Amino acid sequence: MKLATWNINSLGVRLPQVLAWLDRQAQDGPVDVLALQELKLTDDKFPAAAFEQAGYHATWFGQKTYNGVALVSRTPAQDVVRNIPGFADEQARLIAATYGEGETALRVIGAYFPNGQAPGSDKFAYKMRWLDALRGWLADELRRHPRLALMGDFNITFDDADVWDPEGLRETIHCTSEERAHLQALIALGLHDAHRLFPQPPKTFSWWDYRMLGFQKNRGLRIDHILISDALRARASACTIDRAPRKNPQPSDHAPVVLTLD
DNA sequence: ATGGCCATCGCGGATGGA
């Protein structure tokens, strides 16, 4: 089975690319759950019928202009949660659901972490509060759901290996010690960075700036992640970043991350 | 080189992204 995450930077613009990508993936095994971020549309504009026609269920949490997240899946979502319980938030950034029953039930959390803009800014402070709230709730979720995956656009790099220019970008947004400590605190709850469970080529990134020929020069960051619990780690067999959609006309600035489980 | 590109809203140019 496959789990995937993709920040598509407007589902209105890139729905055809998402459907084409799901089709392509299905050639060597369908994607069971795809987490999407940055829908940039309201709930009433979500293209549920298009996904249904393609054979997928969906559950979504939209917002006008900004943010918005969804889970697209082969089986229906159960026990859906929108945003972090107990954390008042105007922004649609998180959606969680359970797939399957009993001991094989899988809990999936799709999230669009705040960008944070710059250390010291109000948006950075919001990012830190959001991360605190996520950690508190996630600890409970892990107790309830041993088979759990947290995936999405984290807007945080783990370390210098996730950064095209570690010296030039030291302690800038996505690369600060404070953000990385928060990311490690999520790992400390009992999660694993699926990407690093397997050998990866150096300079493997998931996002490239639209400007300065960022993708062509591979000037990128790895900020899109799939974190999995111990129970899922035991079943993980591959984790890859698919650069192909970044070469599409009108691409998202992010590439999808795909985890394969036995 | 303190911007470059892209999407949104809405019809010019600001805002946000990362």
Helix (H, G, I), strand (E, B) or coil at A5: strand
Q: The domain containing residue A54 runs over which residues?
A: 2-261
Closest nucleotide C1' to the C-alpha of A13:
B7
Q: What is the spatial distance, in angstroms and rounded to an integer, between the CA atom of A13 and the C1' atom of B15? A: 19
A254 is in an annotated binding site: yes
Q: Which of A112, A145, A195, A224 is catalytic?
A: A112
Q: What is the spatial distance, in angstroms and rounded to an integer, between the CA atom of A89 and the C1' atom of B13? A: 29
Say how many domains are in chain A.
1
Q: Which of A153, A162, A182, A225 is catalytic?
A: A153
pTM of the predicted structure, to 2 decimals: 0.97
Helix (H, G, I), strand (E, B) or coil at A100: coil
Contact between A191 and A225 (Cβ < 8 Å): no
Nucleotide B9's nearest residue (CA vs C1') is A65
Residue owning tokens 């998202």: A252
A123 CB less than 7 Å from any atom of strand B: yes
We report the CATH number of the domain holding residue A84 as 3.60.10.10
DSSP state of A163: B
- pLDDT, one tens digit for every residue, chain A (262 residues): 999 999 999 999 999 999 999 999 999 999 999 999 999 999 999 999 999 999 999 999 999 999 999 999 999 999 999 999 999 999 999 999 999 999 999 999 999 999 999 999 999 999 999 999 999 999 999 999 999 999 999 999 999 999 999 999 999 999 999 999 999 999 999 999 999 999 999 999 999 999 999 999 999 999 999 999 999 999 999 999 999 999 999 999 999 999 999 9
